[in-house]
Chain A
Amino acid sequence: MERERLTLRHVVLRFGFLIVFAAFFVLFSVWNPVFLNGGNLLNIVEGSAILMIVALGLTLVVATGGIDLSIGIALDFGAAFAVVAMSGYGMGWFGAACIGVIGGSLVGLVNALLVVGLRITPFLATLSTFFIGSSVQRIFTNGGGPISYRRMPTEFRNIAQGDIFGIPSEAVIAAVLVVIYYIVLERSIWGRRIHAMGMQRSAAIVAGIRVNRILVLCFVTAAMTCAVGGLIAAANIRMFTPLSGFSYLLDAIAAVFIGAALHPRGRPNVLGTVAGVLFLGMVANGLNLMGLNFNTKDALQGIILVSALALAVAQRRARTG
């Protein structure tokens, strides 16, 4: 490999993900011209908003070197607390939204307690939180029935269904969070510290970085972010559906790791996560427009997910040699 050779394999490995992204884009556009329609592209962005928000939270935890399997629970809690605050306690939309975010943060606090306080590995700790959180929802809803609130204030519904200058508000919220996350994780001193501890924890400790404090903050922030996703989900359907957050987990993990694989040095990063989310959103939307049966679409999506991850990883390896 000492001389650069421009073989097909080389090209595919080097630009693989970009090529795949473009190939799918062209395929979907040719198959159904509606795909290229401005309104549909906006649909993709809007439809990816919740996944984007959840994936951002996960990016933060993965950057610390951990993993969070309970992000779906934080999303559920966010929705549940907000809906119950409005329906059960008659709170205003803003108060309810705040209560939702605080409710979500409880999940992060439990994770932080388990990981920092009891020194359980993040995988097992957040898996426990997932079990416990799912069970709490079943107990609370008597087996998982949704809590509906038809008379939800318009302002709250606007979190998902409103628009700002014609752009759907959930897309605006996601975009704002992307910007904030980008600045914090990739441009700020805290981001640098998070990355340092994620890559080599013992060296970060010796360098004087307060790793435990960072871990607590990251778990809680991630959970709060996911709770915002929960607010949008609740506002969209005017109800809280228990255990609905789980469906975002695998996609979020995929998006974060596609993103990390796209980074030249394999770091989880915000822009990579955005690319990953948009890719998954585009594939889901495009397959829908192809008019496939639900099961076929699901299977294809899974297969594309595996291939995309494999390509992204292979591409990073080819680049770093």
Chain B
Amino acid sequence: MRAEARLSAWLSDLVGYLPLAILIGVLAYISLNAPNFLTLRNLELVLMQSLPVVLVCAGLAVVVMAGGDDVVSGGIDLSIPATAVLSAGITAQMLTLGYPLALCAVAALVACLVVGVINAALVSRIGMTPLLTTLAMFVAVVGVNNVVTASRRINVDHPWILALREAEIGGMPLGIVLVVMIVGTLFVAAHQTRWGLNLQAAGGSRDAAEISGINPGRLVGQSFVVAAVTGFVCGFFVLARGSGSSPGVQDNLMLEMVLATFLGAAFSPRRVVTLWGAVLGAVLVAAISIGFKSMGVNVFWTGLIKGSLIVVVVAFSAMAQRGR
């Protein structure tokens, strides 16, 4: 019986790697059919394209760490993309009104922090479920942003913002360097500090955390504020990518964020949402979008492909879990 158990554990480990293998297979298929795909220039494009999603995914990963990974009752923050768009909208609008960039950034940061604090208060103090809270906040924040921007596209050509897209540091694009630094900081905070361990404890077992003198409510609240800050930063990358703020960016950003983060969970051997998993998921999703585009696949099909990807990957991950 022991040998059988070991075999089935080994098999389920193998099944556990299937999600990643499938994605890599898809990428291999793309690179065979679109010869330009695997060039350094193109890979850089993929990374640049994925930056806004990487940022919001990192924020979401922190929230899920603190709240637990049950989608409905655990931690989730769907409002991050709306926060990002609000950050972009306020900055763009104030820039056109002639304010200096620093002041715009401060105003955007304050607005984003307000969103984060409201999320935190509603979840930790009033006890609303995060899914519901942040979905409602998504609607409210997008509504406020539409008032700020009057639902119009606002062009931005401030050199510092465009630098996020175009400048390079030591041969590496500035934007990528900045995002790597931000994600790296979050990683250290989450895995190498007392705060991070407590955060994970709160998400892993709320009761256990409480018994150990950790205040899970406060940590969950803090995670929403961290997420709002990633949304704030993301806003500038949204501005840089689109040369300004345009209405409707948030919907796609939200869907890609959820897709990438939970794809990331399927990669992790423990099947939990992790920071690196979410980031990897974001990059892979961008790679696949760009890859199919460079293969000449009609854009209308991308939703179909992404939807099927979730199904395949999550189904395999569910199978692997059942094998345990």
> In the complex, are there CB atoms of A and B closer than 8 Å?
yes
A residues at B contact (CB < 8 Å): 67, 114, 118-121, 123-125, 127-136, 138-139, 142-143, 250, 253-254, 257, 294-296, 298-303, 305-306, 309-310, 313-314, 317
| Interface majority SS (helix, strand, loop, mixed), chain A | helix
Which B residues are CB-close (under 8 A) to A305? Answer: 136, 139-140
Residue B12 lies at the interface, judged by CB distance under 8 Å to chain A: no
Interchain CB contact under 8 A, A119 and B71: no
4 closest cross-chain pairs (CB), A and B: A131-B307, A135-B303, A302-B140, A299-B143
Interchain CB contact under 8 A, A125 and B303: no
Interchain CB contact under 8 A, A257 and B310: no
Can you give 10 A-B contacts (C-beta < 8 A)?
Answer: A67-B72, A67-B131, A118-B315, A127-B258, A129-B307, A253-B135, A295-B146, A295-B151, A306-B136, A310-B126
Interchain CB contact under 8 A, B318 and A313: no
Which A residues are CB-close (under 8 A) to B218? Answer: none
Rounded to whole Å, the gap between the CB of A1 and the closest CB of chain B is 16
Interchain CB contact under 8 A, A135 and B302: yes
Rounded to whole Å, the gap between the CB of B314 and the closest CB of chain A is 5
Interchain CB contact under 8 A, A139 and B143: no
Q: A118-B318, A309-B132 are in contact. Are A123 and B72 (CB under 8 A)?
A: yes
Q: A123-B71, A123-B72 are in contact. Are A135 and B140 (CB under 8 A)?
A: no
Rounded to whole Å, the gap between the CB of B245 and the closest CB of chain A is 14
Interchain CB contact under 8 A, A127 and B310: yes
Residue B308 lies at the interface, judged by CB distance under 8 Å to chain A: yes
Residue B304 lies at the interface, judged by CB distance under 8 Å to chain A: yes
Which A residues are CB-close (under 8 A) to B306? Answer: 131
Interchain CB contact under 8 A, B143 and A298: yes
**How many A-B contacts are there with CB distance less than 8 Å?**
132
Interchain CB contact under 8 A, B146 and A298: yes
Which B residues are CB-close (under 8 A) to A125? Answer: 311, 314
* C-alpha spacing A218/B165, complex, angstroms: 48
Which B residues are CB-close (under 8 A) to A138? Answer: 300, 303
* C-alpha spacing A309/B132, complex, angstroms: 8
Most buried by B among A131, A305, A309: A131
Interchain CB contact under 8 A, A134 and B303: yes
Q: Which chain B residue shows the least CB distance to A314? A: B126
Which B residues are CB-close (under 8 A) to A134? Answer: 303
Q: Which of chain B's residues 243-269 have a Cβ closer than 8 Å to chain A?
A: 255, 258-259, 262
Q: A67-B72, A143-B300 are in contact. Are A306 and B127 (CB under 8 A)?
A: no
Interchain CB contact under 8 A, A313 and B298: no
Q: Which chain B residue shows the least CB distance to A257? A: B132
Interchain CB contact under 8 A, B304 and A136: yes
Which B residues are CB-close (under 8 A) to A303? Answer: 140, 143-144
Q: Which chain A residue shows the least CB distance to B307? A: A131
What sequence of 0s and 1s flags, for each residue 286-317 of chain B, a beta carbon within 8 Å of any chain A beta carbon? Answer: 00000000000010111111111011001100
B141: contacting residue among A295, A300, A302, CB under 8 A: A302
Rounded to whole Å, the gap between the CB of A138 and the closest CB of chain B is 4
Interchain CB contact under 8 A, B139 and A131: no
Q: Which chain B residue shows the least CB distance to A62? A: B72
Interchain CB contact under 8 A, A135 and B310: no
What sequence of 0s and 1s flags, for each residue 146-183 of chain B, a beta carbon within 8 Å of any chain A beta carbon? Answer: 11001100000000000000000000000000000000
Which B residues are CB-close (under 8 A) to A300? Answer: 143
Which A residues are CB-close (under 8 A) to B150? Answer: 295
Rounded to whole Å, the gap between the CB of A130 and the closest CB of chain B is 7
Q: A135-B300, A313-B127 are in contact. Are A128 and B311 (CB under 8 A)?
A: yes
- A-B contact sample (17 more), CB < 8 A, given A119-B315, A127-B307, A310-B128: A114-B311, A120-B314, A120-B318, A121-B314, A125-B314, A131-B303, A135-B301, A138-B303, A250-B138, A257-B129, A295-B143, A295-B151, A296-B147, A306-B122, A309-B132, A310-B122, A313-B128
Interchain CB contact under 8 A, A132 and B304: yes
B298: contacting residue among A123, A139, A306, CB under 8 A: A139
* C-alpha spacing A67/B302, complex, angstroms: 24
Residue B322 lies at the interface, judged by CB distance under 8 Å to chain A: yes
Interchain CB contact under 8 A, B140 and A299: yes
Q: Which chain A residue shows the least CB distance to B146? A: A295
Q: A119-B322, A124-B71 are in contact. Are A135 and B304 (CB under 8 A)?
A: yes
Most buried by A among B126, B258, B311: B311
Q: A139-B298, A139-B304, A314-B126 are in contact. Are A302 and B71 (CB under 8 A)?
A: no
Most buried by B among A130, A133, A294, A303: A303
Q: A127-B310, A298-B143 are in contact. Are A309 and B304 (CB under 8 A)?
A: no
